[in-house]
Copies of this chain bind each other. A is one copy, B any other.
Amino acid sequence: MTDKKFVYFFGDNQTEGSNKMKHLLGGKGANLAEMANLGVPVPPGFTISTEACVLYMKNNDYPEGMWDEIDKNIDKLEKSTGKKFGDPENPLLSSVRSGAPISMPGMMDTVLNLGLNDETVRGLAKRTDNEWFAYDSYRRFIMMFSDVVLGIDTNEFENLIQQKKDELGVTEDTELDTNTMKDLVEEFKSVYKEKTGSDFPQEIKQQLKMAINAVFNSWNNERAKKYRQLNDISDELGTAVNVQAMVFGNMGETSGTGVAFTRNPATGEKEFYGEYLTNAQGEDVVAGIRTPKSIQALKENMPDVYKQLDDITQKLEQHYKDMQDIEFTIEKGKLYMLQTRNAKRTAAAALKVAVDMVYENLINKKEAVMRLKPSQIDQVLHPMIDPDSELELLSSGLAASPGAAVGKVVFSAEHAEEMAQNNEDVILVRTETSPEDIGGMHAAKGVLTVRGGMTSHAAVVARGMGKPCVCGCDGISIDMNKGVFTAKGYSINEGECISIDGSEGKIYMGEAELKMPNVSGELETMLQWADEIRSLNVRTNADTPEDAKLARDFGAEGIGLCRTEHMFFGEERIPVVREMIMADNKEDREKALQKLQPMQKDDFLDIFRAMDGYPITIRLLDPPLHEFLPNYEDLIEKIKKLESEGGKQEEIKRVNDLLRNVDTLKETNPMLGHRGCRLGITYPEIYEMQIKAIIEAACELSSEGTNVIPEIMIPLVSNEKELDFVKKTVTDTAESVMNEKGTNIDYLCGTMIELPRAALTADKIAKGAEFFSFGTNDLTQTTFGYSRDDAGKFLPLYIDKGILESDPFAVLDQEGVGELMKIGIDKGRSSRPDIKMGICGEHGGDPESISFSYEAGLNYVSCSPYRVPIARLASAQAVLKEENQN
């Protein structure tokens, strides 16, 4: 015997746990205990701890003493309810549910009505005076037990029910009569025997043992593992098991079961919101098989129960200081609370609830800032269908998850995943979704289901993922075999495009134009609170005045990366750029550059104006020159075509010249090739042109009163001498332009740190650099030796096998790349303590990476315009996390 306690009782004034014990009792168990402590009516029961589960998984055996404790708690439960397991007169029925420390909706297995056998079913019938109910419960129990504990396909049972319905010409289960139910019980037991070779267990403790065992094992089933992977939940937590006395929502019209929220989980509006079904068990609501009624209907049907429920939920929200998601059951007019937890909500709701709760004095600003996941901002900023677009409406359904999406129709999760891997946008269309569909939902741009309500699997999961979703859209019907769905007389084949609007619950034919919403009031407020807290500056990566303007509206405090090469690609520019590249000598090259210079200057004029008063980091030309030339294979084709069509000799010669240049400039590994400052050293005239354009534009605007703060950035430095070389070009050129213009511009000259050697020799480089910008995209490529363009061949497998936790191009690799950054930061500051440092890779918009950037001591992050609000929030949260740790 060990001293460990594995089982905790709740209810009936004997509660042993509390909300503080989530890790041990799981979310559900802890909340049941907490509710019991608060005096909320909860059916009594006990929780087997996660610790028991972890030990079970580790040793492949139950921890010593666990079953003794369970026996003692069964005694307690029997005393508390006045019923007994297996008692033919007054049988105790229980539910057995999983409950992990972190909520995993629909992921884990549950058994209801445990305690029924051929004898107790009769006792239950007698006791409740409702034979139909007793046999309905028994057949449900056999089916769930068979499914969950023994993995027997539920269709085996569903088909038998359907047969009966067909025979009797009815559509609802509730329309089946008692004898039919009895027949079904017998038939179900036969299925069980046929599939397992044994009789359905009549011994209640054996039922319980098998069920507990199944819940423990469900922790490691495929869909649970997949969910944890997608949601970054540790495999080591384990699940608790809650054994709880059953109460019945399926005991007639004064019974029912429902799910409710203290506020609207889609919008955050403060309104009591929910759904319920009369004469039903909880699973019926969640599964989305019957479409439930609004909770408002309960107010009319059972006003007292409604009042009690409303009071309880208010009390729970006040207690937990967060919006609650509750499950309740009404057994013959008596209300029981089965669960309360912090509600899942849309991003818009999360935002509104957090802001409202500050105004309601429930939480403070800092708490509010921690309530919104940075990634949720992405969802608030989700695209909408352009209101002006004139598309054919196919059907309407529930607005289950906000935002709009456009994509090709697919009917299976696997297909969705395949097509997404080929970079195709898809909409997953299903009758209803199940946990097996998670991967496909993740891959799809949006989800559409025929059945199910706002709390159906599809709706809950899509909201969590921030995907647009329309549910319960029964105006459409799917023919899987033919690969087509029909609506309003139209047939939409797999592969055809549709548009869905998850905020409005509408389905349209064809491709809609999508539009971004404005940043609304609550977001503004939330981000202002974040701004008060954060110390990291947030800049944007922008190459156009439009992006600069957009980012500024989103709160960007400057540009962290302005890529000048993007300016080379304009239609009237690319011929001049090619002329420059193909020049045989410096003179011809300079001629072409002279043509480019006024164009570049115009670009800078517009961007400087858009960022008036904020610093702009301009990166000098970075990509290898061959990127500006056409593709080799295309040129070969073109020549072939010209030759076969008898094209002009002149034209053929021109294309051949181009081909020769493309061939000369071709590189084996362009990522590691002749680019960045290497270009600026071999062809200083290119950088000279760019610097001239920058400084001329700055001088001109400065005399007009615009506050221009240019920061000239030299890319791909691996050696302080490269920096010194190019910096001389910068200072000489700038000096001469400023003299000519008679204006002085305060500009900085700095460098990207995007190669391991740059980080390792940052002390030397910092002597010449006034700022560092960590280019974590390239730094990730070289640190790992991964080509971003090629890593797709093995990265998915790496993540699948757990070799990598996440894609290092999306989430900064703190152990390797981050280590180099720390070396670079320390060495850089050692020789220039006041050096300004930032990050401008994709990671600049990733919350985890922003947190790292803050801890590592950077001054700013820079990210794409749409991620600026995310970065503002994430930067504030980084400060708060640090405060909370100290």
Contacts and interface: CB of A to CB of B under 8 A. Distances in A.
Interface of A: 667-674, 678, 681-682, 716, 718-719, 721-722, 725, 754-757, 760-761, 778, 781-787, 789-791, 793-794, 797-798, 801-804, 813, 815-817, 819-820
Nearest to A676: B785
15 contacts: A667-B790, A669-B789, A672-B786, A672-B790, A681-B801, A718-B784, A718-B785, A719-B784, A719-B803, A722-B803, A756-B783, A757-B817, A760-B816, A782-B782, A782-B785
A591 to B, nearest CB: 23
Interface hub of A667, A756, A803, A813 (most chain B Cβ within 10 A)? A756
A131 to B, nearest CB: 57
B681 A798 contact: yes
A783 B785 contact: no
A719 B682 contact: no
Contacts of A756: 756, 782-783, 785, 816, 820
Contacts of A802: 721
B784 A783 contact: no
A778 to B, nearest CB: 7
B670 A668 contact: yes
Contacts of A798: 681
B801 A725 contact: yes
B670 A671 contact: no
Contacts of A794: 674, 678, 681-682
A682 B803 CA distance: 12
A672 B778 CA distance: 12
Contacts of A803: 681, 719, 721-722, 725
Contacts of A719: 784, 803-804, 816
Contacts of A815: 760-761
Interface hub of A721, A784, A801, A819 (most chain B Cβ within 10 A)? A784
A784 B757 contact: yes
A596 B703 CA distance: 75
Nearest to A813: B757
B783 A760 contact: yes
Given A669-B789, A670-B790, 12 more contacts: A672-B781, A673-B793, A678-B793, A682-B797, A716-B785, A722-B803, A755-B784, A756-B816, A760-B820, A761-B819, A782-B782, A782-B785
A667 to B, nearest CB: 4
A820 B761 CA distance: 11
Contacts of A790: 667-670, 672-674
A719 B806 CA distance: 13
B783 A757 contact: yes
A755 B785 contact: yes
Interface hub of A757, A783, A801, A815 (most chain B Cβ within 10 A)? A757
A579 to B, nearest CB: 20
A778 B787 contact: no
Contacts of A718: 783-786, 816
Contact of A787 (B668, B755, B816): B668
A672 B725 contact: no
A200 B7 CA distance: 113
Contact of A672 (B760, B787, B801): B787
Given A756-B756, A785-B782, A672 B672 contact: yes
Contact of A783 (B668, B671, B682, B755): B755
Interface hub of A681, A761, A793 (most chain B Cβ within 10 A)? A793
The complex is assembled from copies of this chain, and their number is 2
Nearest to A805: B721
Contact of A782 (B667, B783, B791): B783
Contact of A778 (B670, B678, B785): B785
B681 A793 contact: no
A787 B667 contact: yes
Contacts of A757: 783-785, 813, 816-817
Contact of A674 (B681, B754, B760, B793): B793
A414 B794 CA distance: 48
A820 B756 CA distance: 9
A588 to B, nearest CB: 19
Contacts of A721: 802-804
A682 B671 CA distance: 24
A95 to B, nearest CB: 40
A444 to B, nearest CB: 26
A304 to B, nearest CB: 59
A725 B755 CA distance: 28
A812 to B, nearest CB: 13
A797 B673 contact: no
A52 to B, nearest CB: 30
Given A722-B803, A757-B816, A672 B785 contact: yes
Smallest CB-CB A-B distances: 6 pairs: A672-B787, A669-B787, A757-B816, A668-B789, A756-B756, A673-B790
A39 to B, nearest CB: 50
A784 B718 CA distance: 6
Nearest to A778: B785
A641 to B, nearest CB: 15
Given A667-B787, A718-B785, A794-B681, A761 B672 contact: no
Contacts of A760: 783, 815-816, 819-820
A717 to B, nearest CB: 10
Nearest to A672: B787
Nearest to A664: B793
A672 B671 contact: yes
A673 B784 CA distance: 11
Nearest to A717: B785
Contacts of A668: 670-671, 787, 789-790
A349 B114 CA distance: 97
Contacts of A755: 783-785
Contacts of A722: 803
A873 B722 CA distance: 35
Given A782-B785, A785-B716, A819-B760, A797 B667 contact: no
A513 B786 CA distance: 44
A824 to B, nearest CB: 12
A820 B721 CA distance: 20
A438 to B, nearest CB: 24
A721 B820 CA distance: 20
A819 B764 CA distance: 14
A793 B672 contact: no
A564 to B, nearest CB: 20
A775 to B, nearest CB: 11
Nearest to A678: B794
A830 to B, nearest CB: 14
A651 B790 CA distance: 31
Nearest to A794: B678
Contacts of A793: 673-674, 678, 682
Contacts of A787: 667-673
A592 B791 CA distance: 26
Nearest to A666: B790
A329 to B, nearest CB: 46
Nearest to A669: B787
B761 A816 contact: yes
Contacts of A813: 757
Contacts of A782: 672, 756, 782-783, 785
A785 B673 CA distance: 8
A112 B870 CA distance: 79
Contacts of A791: 672-673
A320 to B, nearest CB: 39
A673 to B, nearest CB: 4
A793 B756 CA distance: 21
Nearest to A756: B756
Nearest to A795: B678
A819 to B, nearest CB: 5
A804 B718 CA distance: 11
A787 B669 CA distance: 6
A804 B682 CA distance: 14
Contacts of A820: 756, 760
A421 to B, nearest CB: 14
Nearest to A792: B674
